[in-house]
Amino acid sequence: ISGFVVSLSVCLSECSRLYLNKKTSDKQPYSKLAGVSLLKPLKGVDSNLINNLETFFELDYPKFEILLCVQDHDDPAIDVCKKLLGKYPNVDARLFIGGKKVGINPKINNLMPGYEGAKYDLVWICDSGIRVKPDTLTDMVNQMTEKVGLVHGLPYVADRQGFAATLEQVYFGTSHPRSYISANVTGIKCVTGMSCLMRKDILDQAGGLITFAQYIAEDYFMAKAIADRGWKFSMATQVAMQNSGSYSVAQFQSRMIRWAKLRINMLPATICEPISECFVASLIISWAAHHVFRWDIMVFFMCHCLAWFISDYIQLRGVQGGAPSFSKLDYAVAWFIRESMTIQIFLSALWDPTISWRTGRYRLRCGGTAEEILDV
């Protein structure tokens, strides 16, 4: 089993190294690339917001528009948007303020005016904390071949300072891509909504964005609607690079609990998820090895965890495209703490079916729908 874990991660690492972070190949003539409407949901300001947004204004792409969507009229993100609109007058960009209440999902509500005003056949929904390279959009559109209806990016994290940044980078470079890449290699539909390029006509066939406003995990249900109509998915060769200026261990933990709650309510099989984590899996396999082969439980447990630890580092290097910016000691500490948090995160998700997201609180229902909890 230990050998299988190492072999799997080595294979995934090689897939990551060969597929991710490679130079974009021109599958279509530059001038004939399809037009894209970029929908950018914004709320609040952090230290990296203006730099992240500016990378979209500097995209090297022949035909695109940027639709900046802000819900509240007093949001400081409006000033950031106006500054960039003034700095880049030749970029086709518009600012939408106020949103449109169509359901309980605040992101969908915020995006609705921009979606209704989009003029191109491809829509790219990309979170505010993402930064891109000049050729990122070219790479994504080149993956949008004839039978593909959705192109998504593997979430990863930019190099930043502090232990919380290291913790996030270790998670998004080890545990997350192991399941994410495995699912996509085997044909299982696994998509996160941080950076998704979709065919607008398919979304319109499903009823448009308003259809997904009843869900908190709108990305899962948008992907499902596209797959149900017979379209394929493709993963971009560039990662969806998260570069939020606001991050902490507590924020990371809260985010993981929220995601776990959503998975449990959408996919009941998620109840088995803990056995895919290192310490639980190693304990079960060690117990089995002891009873079948009479091997020492503690020795086998330690060897299995060590094999997992090494394979995760190989996986991390594959996603990063080389050695990470932090030391091996920092990796070891962050890896151990991340793995130790998994049971607590899972139990917290089971204990309370409500989630806090943006400025609202929501009670999740089985199947993925939710209701907003209003303070009386």
DSSP H helices in the chain: 2-19, 49-57, 77-87, 106-117, 136-143, 163-173, 175-185, 200-205, 218-228, 249-266, 278-293, 297-320, 328-351
Residue where the block lists tokens 């990063």: 320
pLDDT at 2: 45
Mean pLDDT of successive 10-residue stretches along the chain, which has 376 residues: 49 56 65 94 96 98 97 96 97 97 95 97 97 96 94 96 96 92 78 95 96 93 95 94 95 94 85 89 93 93 94 92 94 97 92 84 86 76
Q: What is the DSSP letter of 325?
A: S
pLDDT at 179: 84
pTM summary value = 0.90
Residues in the chain: 376
pLDDT at 300: 94
The strand order across the sheet containing 64-70 reads: 93-97, 64-70, 36-42, 122-126, 195-199, 148-152, 232-235
Q: For this structure, is 127 an active site residue?
A: no
Secondary structure of residue 88 in the 3-state scheme = coil
pLDDT at 23: 60
25-39 pLDDT tens trace: 556 777 789 999 999
**240: closest CA among 372, 316, 133, 96?**
133
CA distance 45 to 26: 36
226-266 pLDDT tens trace: 999 999 999 999 999 999 999 999 999 999 999 999 988 88
pLDDT at 184: 78
pLDDT at 25: 57
pLDDT at 33: 93
Query: Exactly one of 219, 228, 312, 330 is catalytic; which is it?
Result: 219
Fold of 24-248: Spore Coat Polysaccharide Biosynthesis Protein SpsA; Chain A (3.90.550)
Q: Which residues does 51 contact at the CB level (< 8 Å), separation at least 6?
A: 131, 243
Q: Which residues does 263 contact at the CB level (< 8 Å), separation at least 6?
A: 270, 273
Domain spans, the chain: 1-8+266-373, 24-248
321 near 158, Cβ under 8 Å? no
